[in-house]
Amino acid sequence: MDGKTRPSTTHWPTGARARPRPGRGWLTGLLLAPALLMGGSWAQAAVFKDSALQSLLDAGQADQMEKVASQRLKSNPDDPQATAALALAQLDLADGNVLRQNIQRLEQCVQKTPQEASCAYALALSLVMEVRGGSKFKALGALGRVSELMQKAMAQLPDAPEPRSALQQYYLALPSFIGGGESKARALEQGVQDEDQLRLMRARVAASKKDWASVERELRAVRTRRPELLLEQRVIGSDLGRQWMHDRQYAKAKAWLEELSRQQPQQAMPLYGLGRVLDAMDDHDAAVAAYEKAKTLLGAEQLALDHRIGIALQDKGDKAGARAAFERYIGNRRASASNVEDCRRRLAELGAAT
């Protein structure tokens, strides 16, 4: 789900990536987050048939999903669902070799078990991650393959929100002359029976047009308890709160993220966003408290919490605390390159420890 998700001191959908360079922002917008990137009559509406893996995906528990998938692959190296789960859990690792190894395994999985939608889905997201750091020409070359895989996964899992959501983001991120566009994104709403899923899809389209009033209206109407839709709700909701923060509507952003945190009290992402708002309001102690609490909740590993703690402490004037937080973040294997660069710059500003 920053989680690590977006822009420089922000997140990816989840929140912590650096802003994309001009010319490939349309591709970086494809991923909800490594965390997603996640009952009853909806039992078939899932990326994973394995309920344990699906629960971890829905909760954004990347570290635990990585552990479970790795253990299963030791027992059965050809387990397709474990292969896909491991790749999704490792999407945001700083080590590019891991991504390349996962892409190789996923390509084999798609060839050996073409009926396994989770492999096609994970491969599409992995290819997007691979081209994020490359040239625009490489990104353009990957578009056809990514589109093919996303459409395949959605066709195989028509009731699962994740592949449809990823394909919608794909269309919204690309201009129409190379295969994207709003009309294609809206066409994906056809056949969706869950009204809350439709609301979330409409909210994403509205966000792409910066129609924040419509985003708010759609999100306020969502009443879902489906875990995979709760993930989308907190990602889009966190993005809306961040937008209000950037617009200096601090009180509105604070109230919104506090409510989102009450709705999903076990999730770290809303508190991460709240901490950012509090820091922007110069309430640095409250910001650090929100970040520290977020560290204890689900999905914390995908958020740039130590980076943000360091910024809040630096703003407060606590040089030693800030330095320690930045150093912790630099050692995080899920740290984004842009945030690491920012931490190093800030450490240089702070000077040597005394």
Domains of the chain: 25-350 (1.25.40.10)
Q: Concatenate the DSSP letters of all residues of 90-107 into one string.
A: TTT-S-HHHHHHHHHHHH
CA-based nearest residue to 108, from 87, 90, 128, 91: 87
Mapped onto helix, strand or coil, the DSSP state of residue 298 is: strand
Which pTM value belongs to this model? Answer: 0.86
| pLDDT confidence of residue 153 | 96
- Averages of pLDDT over runs of 10 residues in the chain (354 residues) are 34 32 41 39 64 93 97 97 98 93 98 97 93 72 89 93 92 86 95 96 97 99 95 96 98 99 98 99 99 98 98 98 98 96 98 67
Residue 122 to residue 81: CA distance in whole angstroms: 10
Q: How far apart are the first and last CA of the chain?
A: 37
Mapped onto helix, strand or coil, the DSSP state of residue 267 is: strand
Mapped onto helix, strand or coil, the DSSP state of residue 2 is: coil
CA-based nearest residue to 334, from 301, 311, 292: 301
